[in-house]
Amino acid sequence: MLDVKDISYSLKSGRKILDGIGFSVGAGELCAVIGPNGAGKSTLMKVISGLIKPECGSVSYVGCELTTLDSRARAKVVAYLPQVTGAVSSSVADAVLLGRKPYISWYPSLGDRERVQDVAKRLGIAHMLERNVTELSGGELQKVLIARAIVQETSVLILDEPVNHLDVKNRIDIMETARQLTQESGLSTLVVIHDLNLALRYADSVLLLDDGRQADFCPCCGLKSEAVSDVYKIPMDIREIDSRLCVVY
């Protein structure tokens, strides 16, 4: 289980970005992190992934404090796909192989390359392995980046806005892939997402942030219309339509 306890973070100017954030995500569970722009979502993901240190609080996985690990050891526990990742000219195979970096001493082993092949088949991108990543569509590139994160063989997966700028089909494909991988591999997954309906459709729980504070953390079925309306500053109504929770606004 991923445990985040009382995380706070401030800029050097003294501006508070995160204030006392705490929640847990179990193995095989996907948590959607939602909230308006500037709520602190991406900063929280960077804290959990170890890119920045909080001023107080802790992040642990099954009792191991992640902030005490060096970058190589932490990369074997947490895989992080940032909000913006540029396409650098290389083959898809080499781009995915970068996810094996925490395990490679000098050169990739046969096992590393086999792992790339296995994950590529699992995500349906094996036919693209020889293509250059600069030639891929947005949806194809996101699948390659997720494949890179998966070959790290971590227990925690963090995806920061993985469906941004994608069409409806690719958004669904990416979220279904994240959900399936989470369940099959027993991952503790965090997905930052702006589409509230996709969040409710694919997540087990929801972390709602507002101006650096935790407005709510609950199972999707427990999210209240009043809470999201207050945070987003517009009237919203959470309804069950055809046995599926939907946000109407």
Q: Is residue 110 part of a domain?
A: no
Q: Is residue 207 part of a domain?
A: yes
pLDDT tens column, 112-132: 899 999 989 888 899 999 999
Q: Is residue 107 part of a domain?
A: no
Cα distances (angstroms) measured from residue 196 to each of 45, 113, 184, 200, 242: 18, 37, 24, 6, 17
Q: Is residue 126 part of a domain?
A: no
Helix (H, G, I), strand (E, B) or coil at 96: helix
Q: Is residue 146 part of a domain?
A: no
Q: How many domains does the chain have?
A: 1
DSSP-assigned letter for residue 68: G
Q: Is residue 196 part of a domain?
A: yes
pLDDT at 137: 87
Averaged pLDDT of the chain = 91
**CA-based torsion, 42, 237, 26, 31: positive or negative:** negative
Q: Name which residue leads in pLDDT, 107 or 223.
A: 223
Q: Is residue 192 part of a domain?
A: yes
Mean pLDDT of 215-232: 96
pLDDT at 105: 78
Q: Is residue 21 part of a domain?
A: yes
Whether the per-residue pLDDT at 144 is higher than 80: the answer is yes
Whether the per-residue pLDDT at 143 is higher than 80: the answer is yes
Mean pLDDT of 157-171: 89
User: Could you tell me which of 157, 178, 175, 167 has the C-alpha nearest to residue 79?
Assistant: 157
With residue 231 as reference, give the H or E element that holds it. Answer: helix 225-232
Cα distances (angstroms) measured from residue 123 to each of 20, 128, 249: 37, 11, 34
Q: pTM of the entire structure?
A: 0.92
Residue 6's CATH number: 3.40.50.300
**Tokens 């996907």 sit at which residue?**
30
pLDDT at 93: 93
Domain enclosing residue 163, as ranges: 2-84+154-248
Q: How many CB atoms lie within 10 A of CB 228?
A: 24
DSSP-assigned letter for residue 97: H
Contacts of 104 (CB under 8 A, 6+ apart): 112
Banded pLDDT at 78 (limits 50, 70, 90): very high
pLDDT tens column, 6-49: 999 998 888 899 999 999 999 999 999 999 999 999 999 999 99
